[in-house]
Structure 1
Amino acid sequence: MTARKLLTHNGSGDQVEYAGITASAGATSAGDIPALGANGRLDQSMMPSGIGPENGVLPATEALSAGDYVNYYLNAGTWSCRKADASASAGLSKRAHAYVLAAVAQNANATTYTDGKNDQCSGLTGPEVYLSDTVPGKAVSTPPTGSGKIVQSLGTATSATEVNTNFGRPILLA
């Protein structure tokens, strides 16, 4: 879709088109009119402090795929992230704390999100989704069963590819 534009007065008696801005440059953008970006949303740079996604940047100790749920942990004294895992071999030590929206190479920095919508999932039937006990980092529509595994709700599937994130406390199965 072609971006919509406004007609504005240029101060000399003429009218000119104005497209608006899709990202703020700070104080130099004061008085500009915002325009939605290609995703149909306002850019984060236009939001006031405290409004926006809760995210962090941590080194990934393994390769991550877009949409993976991750576990935060101390790795040789440095907070890092890895794929969350509900299997019996992982236990509570690999519960999900966040997710990534972009693929990340091992040892690269990962931007992680603790709330909002993870729109990089697939095959969900929901409505509630859980951390997988068979494929680390993935969401599944059926809770794990079996001794030593964990059941952790990740949120609500709003489609086959999107989860409205609301991390539940993990339950270790006896």
Structure 2
Amino acid sequence: MAQGFLARVAGRTSQIFATVISAGVANAGNLVGLGDDGRLHSSVLPVGVGANTTQAVASETLGAGKFVNYHNDGGVFSARLADNSNGRQADGFVLEEFTTGTTATVYPLDGTNAELTGLTIGARYWLGTAGGVTATPLDETDAANANKISQYLGVAKSAEELVTDDDGYVVL
């Protein structure tokens, strides 16, 4: 929703709208407005201020809320789905979908992944398969879990939000 106000410009009353996404110098002096999500867009923040993220090329489709693993894909720093079953620890997560070959914005662990569903408030979650989470940690005494990744990811703040923890991982 556009945010506007009335102002006197050159002796006339005009409606002025706040800038939600900045085009840079062209928007110098504009008032800043919140986006549809109720937050400031990163384009209106000063250089060096904003979310702590890493850019990596998606080597497969990464769905919103999925946990990802960094890797070298033919000399390109890339991200793929983290997976406890195949040795791909979670290095971060994405908050929107990225298709193969696009540059993904990856958020580090120790942040809040707010793009999940079906979580139980206060429950603890571990890395699952295909970038997902599980409420059940792998049993380290089960021989079927040999060479799998056991990685604690965090605690649910709501049904959609997981407050993540960069607690490391163990190869069973």
**TM superposition score normalised by structure 1:** 0.81
Report if aligned partners of 2:2, 2:18 keep a CA contact under 8 Å in 1: no
1:103 to 85, 97, 105: 97
**Pairs aligned (count):** 165
Partner letter of residue 61 of structure 1?
A: S
Residues 62 and 29 (structure 1 numbering): CA distance in 2 closer, same or farther, change over 3 Å? closer
Give unpaired runs (5+ residues) of structure 1.
Answer: none
Residues 40 and 79 (structure 1 numbering): CA distance in 2 closer, same or farther, change over 3 Å? same
Look up the match of 1:21.
19
Rounded to whole Å, the distance in 1 between the matches of 2:155 and 2:50 is 20
**TM superposition score normalised by structure 2:** 0.81
**SS of 2:14 mapped into structure 1:** strand
**Percent identity between the two aligned chains:** 35
Partner letter of residue 164 of structure 2?
A: T
CA RMSD of aligned residues (A): 2.2
**SS of 1:159 mapped into structure 2:** coil
2:138 to 144, 149, 152: 144
Give unpaired runs (5+ residues) of structure 2.
Answer: none
Look up the match of 1:128.
124
**SS of 2:20 mapped into structure 1:** coil
Partner letter of residue 6 of structure 1?
A: F
Partner letter of residue 159 of structure 1?
A: S
Runs ≥4 in structure 1, deviation > 4 angstroms? Answer: none
Partner letter of residue 112 of structure 2?
A: K
Residues 27 and 106 (structure 1 numbering): CA distance in 2 closer, same or farther, change over 3 Å? closer
Rounded to whole Å, the distance in 1 between the matches of 2:136 and 2:166 is 16
